[in-house]
Structure 1
Amino acid sequence: MQSSLLLVFFALSLKGVSGDKGSCDADVTVGSGSQFIKEFKEDEFQIYCKLHEGFQSLELKVEGDERVNKALNFTAEDFSSTNDSMWQSLDVKIEYNYLFFNVAYNWLLTVSVNQIIIKKPRYYIDWGYFYEGFKSVRVTAYGRSDWRFTEPGGNCTFPKPAGSPSEGNSTATSEPQLTASTVWILVSVLGVTVIMAALGIAVLVYRFKHPRAAVPPQTDPGAASSRTVSTENPIYGYVRY
């Protein structure tokens, strides 16, 4: 009997530690100042927030492993709504748009609150090197707010707008992007074309500077007095006179 009670107590303890889905408690609470929330190593993630009166802004600092290092701020006016008692989902997604002629990537950011995109559908971050990899996104909140890393219970979540997509799917429309393999194929085709054109021009220049020797004159044995001369013209070919 005692062992059974201990197992039940242990299971309930684990449930409380892991932050069960039905809980409405915050993992991080921010007062009047600023506080670091969490560092994410994924280029797409979701957290939950409650924004109270006095909330000022949210900072997302995006870092790559080479040159990208930029902080983007979203003020209280950028959020669709606030509610002191309801959790809202905050979805963050970073995309990469390859720049063919610059051999670099545009890093683009889409942020949505409760499935409603804030700012622009494609918020420009910065450009990164062709070989630059994603490092992290650091989330910092300024002003009174609560933050949670797992989905709260249904009775404490802000209702989604009608017709909104399922959680985790961005509402931004993805534009066609060039993959690295496609880029190298295009570069190879372009390079072969340039080489062939250069060879053709070189042959033409060589032919122009080094014309063929004149063909010996052809004479009619029966007309010794007549003389025919044949010479090569670079433009019109062989001319007889």
Structure 2
Amino acid sequence: MNFLQSLSRPMRLAGVALIGIAVIAGVIGVVTAVSGGGSEQTAAPSPSSSASSGTPGGGSPTESPSAPSPTTTTPASGAPSTTGAPPPASPGPQQGGAPTTGPDGGVPADQAAAKWVPVRVYNNSTVKGLAARASDDFRADGWNVAETANYPYGVIPTTTAYYTPGTDEETAARALAADFGMKVEPRFEGIQNSSAGVIVIVTNDYRGLQSKGS
């Protein structure tokens, strides 16, 4: 007869009940331990989640900034240009360009402006009144005719405009000669002391105002 058989029936029932309670308590303890460990793992933040957070407090990380666009400036004309871009090259002076022409066509502007210089017209031809006719032509072209007369002191081979070197007379004489197809020369000895101005001695070959641009 074993120990349990030697006990009375009530005592045996109580022992069985205690054993059952102990087994149940053990099972509950195991379950509690398992469930408690899993809860701790779930509550702890994962290292990867913490590292990926870009802002304090676990907020969502911000997007990485895009590459900055080049700064632009707006010049006086209103068209934007990229900062740092080389300025457009400005054109240099034109070499060998044609001189500026005046309002009378083909004559440089400084020569056209010399029409204020007095012009003295002398007749050395066999045509009566040729100096007066030439004077009218010069005035019609804007020249300042100051005197009209004859030149009986020798024979001039061709219609010529004479000037005093180093004065505005040279510029005026060249412009007048270009307009009327005349020769241009410095004053010769016989007229060096004459009154100031361009001296035009007209001869039989005088033809009047030449066509512009011819």
Which TM-score band (shorter chain)? Answer: under 0.3
Name the one with the larger strand percent: 1
Taking structure 2 as the reference length, the TM-score comes to 0.19
Taking structure 1 as the reference length, the TM-score comes to 0.18
